[in-house]
């Protein structure tokens, strides 16, 4: 019971910090909207249609949601490094709660914030011509949460090994932007050069964004599907791979936090 209370307190603290930081709330929406407007409107007429009449703006919309969730949840590591630099993390680590609870609380806090931000982008679906039903929304939310928890735990793992804010920001840029651009956000995962196809398939974010797109736009359109070793990936195939990656990352985050000094 004490461990659950520790998880809740860490989770609640991160949500409270996000709610009180209005500039962070506004700034976190700026980049996804910029990508959606510039790429969707600016390049939509040049790219033509995908699948059964799906425009480029509609195609990248699920990817923008996935990108928002990925980038927001990955930022979980920033709060860990920040707390270390200001001494708060030391107080948490000596508190009578499991250190694994701290890792889980940080991950869940980041995942919840990312889910909220992704939902705000999801509300814009009618503006880009994407039709959503209640069933689709209720299916997309768990997929977003899975992606957020997986990427959030990865951010926590990195933050436990990195000691300064500057080093973490540099590492975050080196990892996050290649993960975004090589996850199929802006292009279909088919017909790629061999080297890029390999990078896309070893990118864990690919398997988090693909099912969101399949649910939102329909899994019957071949440009939205990915082939892995000759097998066409279904929604459940992507979910299983993402869940395995997420489970490995959260266990690694719990272990890494438990070995903090």
- How far apart (Å, rounded) are the C-alpha atoms in residues 89 and 82? 9
Q: Does residue 41 register a pLDDT over 60?
A: yes
Look at residue 247 in the predicted model and tell me its pLDDT: 92
Look at residue 197 in the predicted model and tell me its pLDDT: 84
Classify residue 24 as exposed, middle or buried by CB count within 10 Å of its CB (0-12, 13-18, 19+).
middle
* pLDDT band, residue 1 (cuts 50/70/90): low
Beta bridge partners of 55: 49
Question: Could you give the dihedral angle defined by the CA atoms of residues 138, 239, 159 and 74, in that order, rounded to the nearest 10 degrees?
Answer: -50
pLDDT, one tens digit per residue, over 147-186 is 999 998 888 888 888 777 777 778 878 888 888 888 888 8
Q: Which residues of 231-258 are buried (b: 16+ CB within 10 A; e: fewer)?
A: eebebebbbebbeebbeebbebbbebbe
pLDDT, one tens digit per residue, over 182-232 is 888 888 777 778 888 888 899 999 999 989 988 888 755 556 677 777 777
- The residue-averaged pLDDT of 245-250 equals 91
Place of tokens 């998880």: 7
Look at residue 45 in the predicted model and tell me its pLDDT: 60
In this structure, the number of other CB atoms found within 10 A of the CB of residue 154 comes to 28
Mean per-residue pLDDT of the chain: 80
């Amino acid at each position: 019971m004490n461990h659950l209370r520790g998880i809740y307190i860490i989770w609640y603290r991160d949500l409270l910090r996000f709610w009180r930081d209005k500039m962070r709330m506004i700034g976190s929406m700026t980049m996804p909207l910029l990508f959606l407007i510039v790429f969707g409107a600016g390049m939509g007429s040049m790219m033509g249609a995908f699948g059964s009449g799906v425009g480029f703006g509609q195609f990248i919309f699920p990817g923008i949601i996935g990108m928002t969730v990925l980038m927001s949840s990955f930022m979980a590591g920033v709060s860990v490094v920040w707390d270390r630099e200001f001494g708060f993390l030391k107080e948490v680590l000596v508190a009578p709660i499991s250190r694994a609870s701290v890792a889980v609380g940080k991950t869940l806090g980041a995942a919840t914030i990312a889910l909220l931000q992704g939902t705000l982008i999801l509300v814009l679906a009618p503006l880009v011509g994407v039709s959503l039903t209640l069933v689709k929304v209720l299916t997309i939310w768990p997929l977003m949460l899975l992606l957020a928890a997986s990427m959030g735990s990865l951010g926590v793992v990195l933050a436990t090994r990195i000691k300064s804010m500057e080093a973490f920001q540099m590492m975050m840029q080196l990892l996050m932007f290649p993960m975004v651009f090589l996850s199929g956000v802006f292009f279909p995962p088919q017909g790629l050069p061999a080297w890029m196809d390999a990078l896309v398939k070893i990118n864990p974010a690919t398997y988090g964004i693909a099912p969101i797109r399949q649910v939102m736009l329909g899994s019957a359109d071949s440009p939205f599907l990915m082939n892995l070793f000759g097998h066409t990936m279904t929604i459940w195939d992507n979910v299983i791979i993402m869940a395995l990656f997420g489970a490995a990352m959260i266990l690694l985050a719990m272990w890494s936090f438990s070995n903090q000094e």
